Amino acid sequence: MQAEVVWGDRWSENSLTMAHTYMEVACRKKSLVCLAADRSTMAELNQLIDEVGPHIAALKTHVDLVDDWSAEAWTAFCSKANSADLLVFEDRKFADIGGISRKQMSGIYDIRSWADLVTAHLISGPDIVDGLQAGWNDVGRQGGVLLLAQMSSRGNLLVPDYTGKVVSVGKNHAGVFGFIGNGSRPEELKVLRKAVGPGKLIWTPGVNLAVGDGEMGQRYGSPREAILAGSDCIIVGSGIHKAQNPSHKAQAYADASWSAFVERSQSRNAV
Ligand code: S5P
């Protein structure tokens, strides 16, 4: 089925090209899974694409945690991801003023040249989104910013009042692809979806088929519950890359996310 039909309002009310690109990839792959590829060598990262590429729609990186990073190896890794029909999402969590964020898109890692998506905190104000978009513009590319509206870790300081302010600024900003919400708490996610409205995407970490507490204060909720509560992509890390068989696990997350998404679209159409 065509992406614009399945995604409904999410498609028609989001004008950002990268948002449509994601919705199309998700439909081709029948997967609303973004793999958090938190492995620290280039060989392990490349192996992950080989193992799970067909079952995921996006690959989330932390470019600064790779031990043997080199510009050549990274370029090859990104083109491998693109050949596997994956969006590349650098989870850089930018937080500085607009002009510096623009410069941080270049530098040694040159994020603007390979990332389709990046994360940012809105703590410094809305110019950060313009700065990041200018970064992509500087190299003739397009991308999307995911603003952190909630976090999954215990004790985080993104309290409801702050979340509300991030959403009210971000939902009206054309450069904003969507928001990071907390996948471990479906009730909070429903409130977030209501505030965001139908247009912007919500991507959620803190999701695992084994619900409960993770390492160092991480918390996990179920993939199905997250999608039904309004998430458009589950960000899964250790649930896949630490599994005995990452390919099988990735397929299980893809199936859970896609069937919940179909259920959600059907109930929307039924109303
Ligand atoms: O609130 C957040 C936001 C993010 S982007 N909580 C998170 O865990 N993340 C990221 O999601 C985190 O940086 C990591 O890469 C991933 C979760 O990995 P997992 O192993 O806990 O599934």
In a domain, 142, yes or no: yes
Nearest 5°: phi and psi at 196?
A: -70, -35
pLDDT at 269: 61
* Sequential DSSP letters for 88-101: EEEEEEE-S-HHHH
Q: Could you give the C-alpha distances from 110 to 75, 105, 107, 135, in angstroms and in order?
A: 11, 6, 5, 10
Residue segments in the chain with a per-residue pLDDT below the cut of 70: 1, 269-271
Does residue 271 sit within a domain? no
The CATH number linked to 190 is 3.20.20.70
Which pLDDT does position 1 carry in this prediction?
67
Residue 239 CA: nearest ligand 1 atom is 22
User: Looking at the domain assignment, is residue 15 inside a domain?
Assistant: yes
Cβ of 88 less than 6 Å from ligand 1: no
Q: Residue 115: what pLDDT?
A: 98
Number of domains the chain is built from:
1
C-alpha to C-alpha distance for 266 and 271, rounded to whole angstroms: 9
pLDDT of 251 reads: 98
Is any atom of ligand 1 closer than 6 Å to the C-beta of 152?
yes
Atom of ligand 1 nearest to the CA of 119: 5
Active-site residue identified among 80, 93, 171, 242? 93
Q: Which structural domain, as residue segments, surrounds residue 254?
A: 3-266
Does 112 map to a domain?
yes
pTM for the full predicted model: 0.96
Q: How far is 234 from 167, CA to CA, in rounded Å?
A: 19
Position 160 scores a pLDDT of 95
